[in-house]
Amino acid sequence: MALKMEDIVSLCKRRGFVFQSSEIYGGFASCWDYGPLGVELKRNVKDAWWQSVVRERDDMVGLDSSILMHPKIWEASGHVATFSDPLVDCKKCNARFRADHVDVSAPCPNCGAKDSFTEPRNFNLMFKTSVGPVDKEDGSNIAYLRPETAQGIFVNFLNAQNTSRKKLPFGIAQIGKAFRNEITPGNFTFRTREFEQMEIEYFCRAEDAPRLHQEWIQARYEWYLSLGMKKENLSLRPHEKDELAHYAQSEASTGTTDIEYQFPFMSEPAELEGIANRADFDLSQHAKFSGQKIAYFDPERNEHIVPYVIEPSAGADRATLAFLVDAYHEEEVKPGDMRTVLKFHPKLAPIKVAVLPLAKNKPPIVEVAKRVKAQLAKKTMAQYDDTAAIGKLYRRQDEIGTPFCITVDFDTVEKDNAVTVRDRDTMLQERVALDQVEKYVLDKLDV
């Protein structure tokens, strides 16, 4: 049976991955909080991304720019003028839709009324705020919560390049919150008004941009596969001409390709990441609006150029949701006995190893278990749990995707100085000497 979104939402709440925000006040529309396991999972997703696009490459550096920035940035980027969605209201039930998401000539999907939609109006998606204690009537203290992290990178292009002395082609990566006043948020954490992006701006010569665009599409696609995402659920989709963002519409751009994931609860594959060729649009715009010269000096050719940019732009929340859904399995262990198991790649698993005492009222067993846990915790994410019987503890760890469980039992302390290591996926158990168990588990995790 196809996995329903309710199953995921309920598992996330039950096990502490994701909670509804402001729950004790009745919730706050489309806002979600990451719980004790969710924060680990999402951090692992972000760390895996950072590792692959910054630390393992010589041509990339990182950045962490502020959320509030000079408002002119959003004029230069085109967001003030064009970052809007067409909005229609149903005159009968007041439900609100994106005009490009409904058939405006058909009945309202909410109340069934016919010919009930207003004319589409453009609705800017940026959240406004005011800076300083007094709202100024002329609007001169208006600022925006950034709707993407990308512009923080463009405006730091010279700073980052000068200080890191990188030569073209090179890129800047950033992870951070972005805010969009979405008209129709939904599908759990897939579309929210506050979310985290993982963005790269990769600067290059114009003539290299088409090739590098293709290389980044491939590299980013393979990143998802390398973390265990199933190939049959992933696809690449080049944008049609009429859906390209303003910066990708010029002749100079080679367009945008999305990496999409087929969520079981959506009718079509949906975007996890877009990889765009933005040409020299952003740097040129910021040069124009700031009055500064923004160019790269090529000492070999003795010329100044405005680089082109390839932008792989991913969502940390969407990727996390996709990894979670992809890892979800319900299995019949033996006739009539089902288990839910999250088969996370070890790099993503929130808890890598759980240490379980077979009897919590036997001090020698507890003592060994706590020692093993403390030793492992220095190297990896380990958890000690003695709150239920062993069978139940295994199921709980399966359900949160812990790759290995170590059980300390009577034999450990009375006979063999060894423990049982259980593999999440095969459920096979092996006896491993106590002084070998750390190495054994860390080697198998390989993270």
Residues that bind ligand ATP (CB under 6 A): 148, 180, 182, 191-192, 195, 197, 271-274, 313-315, 317-318
Strand partners, 255: none
CB of 78 to ligand ATP, least distance (A): 12
Shortest approach of ligand ATP to residue 93 CB, angstroms? 24
Question: What is the b/e burial string over 163-176, where b = at least 16 CB atoms within 10 angstroms of the residue's CB?
Answer: eeebebbbbbbbbb
Dihedral class, residue 131 (left if φ above 0, else alpha if ψ from -120 to 50, else beta): beta
Burial class (CB in 10 A: 0-12, 13-18, 19+), 246: middle
Distance of closest approach, residue 420 Cβ to ligand ATP, in angstroms: 41
Asked if residues 397 and 384 have their Cβ atoms less than 8 Å apart, the reply is no
How far does Cα 419 stand from its chain's mean position? 37
- In whole angstroms, the minimum distance from the beta carbon of 179 to ligand ATP comes to 9
3-state secondary structure of 75: helix
Write down the least CB distance from residue 14 to ligand ATP, Å.
23
Nearer residue to ligand ATP within complex by CB, 63 or 272: 272
Nearest approach, Cβ of 17 to ligand ATP (angstroms)? Answer: 16
Residues in CB range of 82: below 8 A, 6 or more apart: 246
* Residue whose CB is nearest to ligand ATP in the complex, by number: 315
Retrieve residue 320's tokens: 């996390």
Q: Which is nearer to ligand ATP, 317 or 385 (CB)?
A: 317
Q: Please choose, from the candidates 40, 126, 37, the residue with its C-alpha nearest in 3D space to the C-alpha of residue 75.
A: 126
CB of 168 to ligand ATP, least distance (A): 24
- Contact between 320 and 263 (Cβ < 8 Å): no
Q: What tokens does 156 get?
A: 């730091």
286 touches 307 (CB < 8 A):
no
Nearer to ligand ATP, 30 or 407 (CB): 30
Nearer to ligand ATP, 182 or 208 (CB): 182
Q: Which is nearer to ligand ATP, 271 or 411 (CB)?
A: 271
Minimum CB distance to ligand ATP, residue 316 (Å):
8
Residues 383, 369 contacting (CB under 8 angstroms):
no
Nearer to ligand ATP, 148 or 385 (CB): 148
Q: Which is nearer to ligand ATP, 60 or 178 (CB)?
A: 178
Q: Which of 115, 107, 192 is nearest to 147 (CA)?
A: 192
Question: Measuring CA to CA, how many Å separate 300 from each of 22, 157, 167?
Answer: 57, 20, 11
Distance, CA of 260 to CA of 258 (rounded, Å): 6
- Give the integer Cα–Cα distance in Å for 234 and 82: 30
Residue 115, Ramachandran bin (φ over 0: left; ψ between -120 and 50: alpha; else beta): left
Alpha-carbon 324 to chain mean position: 11
Q: Least distance to ligand ATP from the beta carbon of 415, Å? A: 53
Least distance in angstroms from the C-beta of 307 to ligand ATP: 21
Q: Please, which residue, 140 or 235, has the CB nearer to ligand ATP?
A: 235
What is the distance between the alpha carbons of residues 146 and 227, in angstroms, rounded to a whole number?
29
Nearer to ligand ATP, 319 or 372 (CB): 319
Of 272 and 418, which CB lies nearer to ligand ATP in the complex structure?
Answer: 272
Single out the residue of 229, 283, 227, 274 nearest to residue 252, CA to CA: 283
